[in-house]
């Protein structure tokens, strides 16, 4: 069974600074997908970024980028130029290529301070 | 597109009552998922439909829970009778993915229903 571990329950960052959220996973599959979802106080789960394991290039979406280390089974999220609206719970999620189930980590609560 | 629509957004009920949660997936999506989020257990998949057919209900906690998808644009999750330990946020998500496609398509979540059972 796959597991996803987010070792930082809470983090804080000053507005305009950069922060990195950590995620590790365990799987025996070779083809899979990794996701970061954001859950602000409104509770809505919003996709931030996704990475396909067979792609070596790290995914980027505007201020959000990942550092995908397949051998180390690590998938960290970097948020540049942090904004107050980035304050949210961030979930790392794994999905095996032949599967459909998203396995979520416990989440990291990020607070962006003014 | 309006995204995944869930109703109600909040539900407060008393133990023993029947509760029905509703979901309208994104038009054209083939897969529909029901998740439950609690502080203790995080996000858990309850049931997965593909082309309106239940594919995997192994996450449904017990017989008190049932889910239906009578057509491509509507699904319900019913709890009867409800218990205080059912209190949680219930999410519906949908994706384009056909059954054999696995995770190739992203799951898009609705706003969730916060259920409180007194």
**Better-scored residue on pLDDT, B62 or A87:** A87
- CA–CA separation, B23 vs A91, rounded Å? 22
Q: Residue B8 carries which DSSP code?
A: -
Beta partners for A46? Answer: A38
- CA–CA separation, A103 vs A35, rounded Å? 10
- Taking contacts as CB-CB distances below 8 angstroms, the residues of chain A near B97 are 100
- CA–CA separation, A98 vs B15, rounded Å? 40
Q: Which of residues 46-105 of B touch A (CB under 8 A)?
A: 48, 50, 55-56, 89, 91, 93, 97, 99, 102-104
- CA–CA separation, B23 vs B11, rounded Å? 14
**Contact call for A96 and B104, based on CB within 8 A:** no
B78 contacts B20 by C-beta, under 8 angstroms: yes
In this predicted model, what pLDDT tens digit does every residue of B69-112 receive, in sequence order?
999 999 999 999 999 999 999 999 999 877 666 677 888 999 99
**A108-113 vs A10-14, strand pairing mode:** parallel
C-alpha triplet A82, A86, A87: angle, nearest 5°: 115
- CA–CA separation, A37 vs A51, rounded Å? 12
Whether the predicted pLDDT of A101 surpasses 90: no
In this predicted model, what pLDDT tens digit does every residue of A60-76 receive, in sequence order?
999 999 999 999 999 99
Q: Which of residues 17-36 of A touch B (CB under 8 A)?
A: 32-33, 35
What pLDDT, on the 0 to 100 scale, is given for residue B82? 96
Find where tokens 């942090």 sit: A82
**Contact call for A44 and B112, based on CB within 8 A:** yes
What pLDDT, on the 0 to 100 scale, is given for residue A38? 96
For residues A21-44, give the mean pLDDT: 92
What pLDDT, on the 0 to 100 scale, is given for residue A46? 93
Burial class (CB in 10 A: 0-12, 13-18, 19+), A106: middle
A105 contacts A92 by C-beta, under 8 angstroms: yes
- Taking contacts as CB-CB distances below 8 angstroms, the residues of chain A near B93 are 45
Find where tokens 């995770």 sit: B103
């Amino acid at each position: 069974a796959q597991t996803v571990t987010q070792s930082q329950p809470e983090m804080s960052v000053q507005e305009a600074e950069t922060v990195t959220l950590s995620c590790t996973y365990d799987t025996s599959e070779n083809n899979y997908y990794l996701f970061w979802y954001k859950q602000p106080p409104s509770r809505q789960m919003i996709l931030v970024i996704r990475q396909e394991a067979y792609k070596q290039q790290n995914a980027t979406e505007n201020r959000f980028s990942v550092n995908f280390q397949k051998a180390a089974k690590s998938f960290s999220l970097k948020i540049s130029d942090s904004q107050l609206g980035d304050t949210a719970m961030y979930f790392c999620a794994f999905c095996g290529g032949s599967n459909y189930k998203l396995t979520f980590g416990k989440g990291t609560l990020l607070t962006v301070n003014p | 597109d309006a995204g995944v629509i869930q109703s109600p957004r909040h539900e407060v009920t008393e133990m023993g009552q029947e509760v029905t949660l509703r979901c309208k997936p994104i038009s054209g999506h083939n897969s529909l998922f029901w998740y439950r989020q609690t502080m203790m257990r995080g996000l858990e998949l309850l049931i997965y439909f593909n082309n309106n057919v239940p594919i995997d209900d192994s996450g449904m906690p017990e017989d008190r829970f049932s889910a239906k998808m009578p057509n491509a644009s509507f699904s319900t999750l019913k709890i009867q009778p409800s218990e205080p330990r059912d209190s949680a946020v219930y999410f519906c998500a949908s994706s384009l993915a056909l059954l054999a496609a696995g995770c190739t398509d992203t799951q898009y979540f609705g706003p969730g229903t916060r259920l409180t059972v007194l």
